[in-house]
């Protein structure tokens, strides 16, 4: 069985088009709606956010309760009580020192990010972006970015904020000469709503015209691999040369897709439609590229703490991963610093 037939079988089981469907006309016929989402579903996160006041309050409460307990225990010695207070005071002192150090470190990092934001400002000029990139020894062919869908009341939050971030990343990427941009959002809020996709297409087109001008608007396409849809920008179609491919993926393109592919191969092997000898790493790799997309050379997370949020695990074997601690925004300086790191890295395949 050929790779394409296997991919078609996976898509047919998921009730998705087996051939790439152009929905540009459907998207363009929709009016741009300014409605915003009710609120994002939070991705899994194990980061602790307890403040110093909470910890001190909890520690003092424990001390008070322990003191009351010790007062009612006639067998307890005064020495044990003194030791307890000494040990807790040492722990509290160490915690305060660590908190002060972390506060200074956070302030330094925020100042550092602000400094680079002012230093590397694109001014909506593709030439300035290209000048920054030309200094680098190499750039990635496939760039992937993990974006968070923030609450609608936050700055750059909701669907509107997410669309604006994708539009800016598209302009920066195409100005830098990177041909493939992959956007990962955990919930995939944009993927199942054609109204949002229409708004995204309009926003990208409008933002690119601000960078390049409406007369020389670059050609781009938006792909949704899980649904096998494609949307072309204005003034270009399937016969035009695409300057930038924007791929939108979510958590369903990660582990669930690997499970579906494994299940399909097992069923085909049982029915003797697929030989067990044909199942190999190369076949799985080829199928996942067909179903999800290519493996990114560089992955950027625009968040304060590295959190891959169930990003497709098969696609990051050799990927360089970059994030800036204590950064909460999608900004150009983070992109440039990530490209600088990538240009200086060495990938030793198989070593």
Residue 33, in any domain of the structure: no
Q: Is residue 35 part of a domain?
A: no
Is 29 inside any structural domain? Answer: no
Tens of pLDDT, residues 4-20 = 567 777 777 777 777 77
Q: What is the mean pLDDT of the chain?
A: 83
Domain-located, residue 281: no
- Residue 248: pLDDT above 50? yes
Q: What is the pLDDT of residue 305?
A: 85
Are residues 72 and 166 located together in one domain of the fold?
A: no
Do 274 and 250 meet the contact criterion of CB atoms below 8 Å apart?
no
Residue 256: pLDDT band with limits 50, 70, 90: very high
* Domain end marker among 85, 113, 141: 113
CA 236/CA 60 separation, integer angstroms:
67
- Alpha-carbon distances, residue 183 vs 62, 72, 273 (angstroms): 47, 62, 35
The residue with greater pLDDT, 340 or 62, is 340
For residues 97 and 169, state if they share a domain.
Answer: no
Instruction: Mark whether 156 and 208 lie in a shared domain.
Output: yes
Under 8 Å between Cβ of 146 and 309: yes
Residue 342 pLDDT level (bands cut at 50, 70, 90): very high
130 and 93 housed in the same domain: no
Answer yes or no: do 129 and 106 share one domain. Answer: no
Asked if residue 317 and residue 194 are part of one domain, the reply reads: yes
Report the first-to-last Cα separation within the chain, whole angstroms.
32
Residue 190 has pLDDT above 50, yes or no: yes
Instruction: Output the pTM of the full model.
Output: 0.79
Q: Nearest Cα to 130, choosing from 178, 182, 180, 183? A: 178
Q: Is the Cβ–Cβ distance between 21 and 223 less than 8 Å?
A: no
More confident residue, 272 or 31: 272
Residue owning tokens 């994030």: 323
How far is it, in rounded angstroms, from Cα 2 to Cα 32?
A: 41
Predicted pLDDT of residue 42: 63
In a domain, 299, yes or no: yes
**DSSP per-residue string spanning 132-146:** HHHTSS---SEEEEE
Q: Which CATH number belongs to the domain containing residue 167 in this structure?
A: 3.40.1180.10
Q: Is the pLDDT of residue 172 over 90?
A: yes
Residue 37: predicted pLDDT: 46
More confident residue, 36 or 205: 205
Same domain, 219 and 248: yes
State which residues form the domain around 66.
Answer: 45-113
What is residue 47's DSSP assignment? -
C-alpha–C-alpha distance, residues 203 and 27, integer Å: 13
pLDDT at residue 141 is higher than 80:
yes
Together in a domain, 174 and 241: yes
Where would I find the beta strands (DSSP E) of 218-302? Answer: 220-224, 229-232, 244-249, 298-301
Domain-located, residue 204: yes
| pLDDT (mean) for 281-297 | 91
When mean pLDDT is compared over 127-131, 235-239, 303-307, the highest value belongs to: 127-131
Say whether pLDDT at 142 is over 90: yes
Confidence of residue 180 (pLDDT cuts 50, 70, 90): very high
Q: List the beta strands (DSSP E) in the chain.
A: 21-22, 142-147, 180-185, 220-224, 229-232, 244-249, 298-301, 320-323
The residues, any chain, with a CB within 8 Å of residue 199's CB and separated by 6 or more, are: 32, 33, 159, 163
DSSP 3-state of 323: strand
Q: What are phi and psi of 21, to 5 degrees?
A: -105, 130
Q: How far apart are CA 96 and CA 106, in angstroms?
A: 15
| 171 vs 58, higher pLDDT | 171
| ∠ Cα 271 275 276 (to 5°) | 105
Confidence grade of residue 306 (pLDDT, cut at 50, 70, 90):
confident
Greater confidence (63 vs 189) lies with: 189
pLDDT classification of 222: cutoffs 50, 70, 90 = very high
47 sits in the region (left: phi over 0; alpha: psi -120 to 50; else beta) called beta
Any domain includes 260? no
Which has more pLDDT, 280 or 75? 280
Lowest mean pLDDT, pick from 80-84, 143-147, 260-264, 289-293 = 80-84
pLDDT at residue 326 tops 90: no
**pLDDT, tens digit (0-9, with 9 covering 90-100), for 16-73:** 777 777 777 777 777 555 444 445 566 655 455 555 566 666 766 776 676 666 555 5
pLDDT at 167 over 60: yes
Same-domain pairing of 246 and 171: yes
Nearest alpha-carbon partner for 255 in 166, 181, 186, 183: 186
**Rounded Cα–Cα distance for residues 316 and 307 (Å):** 14
Query: Which residue do the tokens 């992109």 mark?
Result: 335
pLDDT in tens, 66-109: 666 655 555 556 677 778 888 888 988 999 999 898 889 888 88
The answer to whether residue 94 sits within a structural domain is yes
Query: What is residue 52's predicted lDDT score, i.e. its pLDDT?
Result: 57
CA 290 → CA 11, 228, 247, 262, 294, distances in Å?
A: 11, 10, 12, 15, 8
């Amino acid at each position: 069985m050929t790779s394409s037939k296997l991919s078609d079988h996976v898509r047919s089981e998921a009730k998705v088009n087996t051939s790439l469907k152009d929905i540009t006309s459907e998207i363009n016929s929709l009016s741009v709606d300014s409605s915003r989402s009710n609120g994002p579903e939070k991705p899994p996160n194990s980061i602790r956010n307890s403040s110093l006041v909470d910890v001190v309050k909890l520690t003092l409460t424990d001390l008070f309760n322990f003191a009351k307990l010790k007062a009612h225990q006639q067998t307890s010695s005064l020495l044990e009580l003194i030791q307890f207070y000494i040990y807790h005071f040492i722990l509290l002192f160490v915690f305060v020192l660590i908190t002060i150090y972390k506060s200074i470190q956070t302030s330094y990092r925020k100042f550092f990010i602000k400094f680079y934001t002012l230093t590397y400002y694109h001014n909506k000029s593709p030439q300035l972006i290209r000048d920054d990139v030309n200094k680098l020894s190499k750039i990635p062919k496939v760039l992937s970015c993990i974006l968070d869908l923030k609450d609608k009341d936050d700055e750059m939050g909701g669907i509107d904020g997410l669309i604006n971030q994708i539009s800016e990343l598209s302009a920066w990427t195409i100005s830098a000469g990177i041909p493939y941009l992959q956007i990962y959002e955990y919930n995939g809020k944009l993927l199942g709503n054609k109204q949002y996709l229409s708004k995204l297409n309009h926003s990208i087109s409008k933002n690119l015209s601000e960078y390049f001008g409406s007369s020389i608007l670059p050609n781009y396409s938006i792909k949704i691999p899980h649904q096998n849809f494609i949307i072309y920008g204005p003034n270009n179609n399937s016969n035009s040369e695409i300057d930038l491919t924007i791929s939108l993926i979510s958590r369903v393109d990660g582990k669930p897709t690997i499970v579906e592919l494994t299940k399909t191969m097992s069923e085909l092997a049982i029915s003797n439609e697929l030989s067990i000898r044909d199942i190999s790493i190369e076949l799985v790799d080829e199928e996942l590229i067909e179903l999800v997309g290519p493996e990114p050379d560089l992955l950027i997370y625009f968040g304060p703490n590295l959190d891959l949020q169930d990003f497709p695990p098969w696609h990051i074997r050799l990927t360089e991963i970059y994030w800036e601690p204590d950064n909460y925004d999608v900004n150009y300086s983070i992109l440039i610093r990530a490209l600088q790191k990538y240009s200086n890295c060495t990938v030793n395949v198989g070593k």
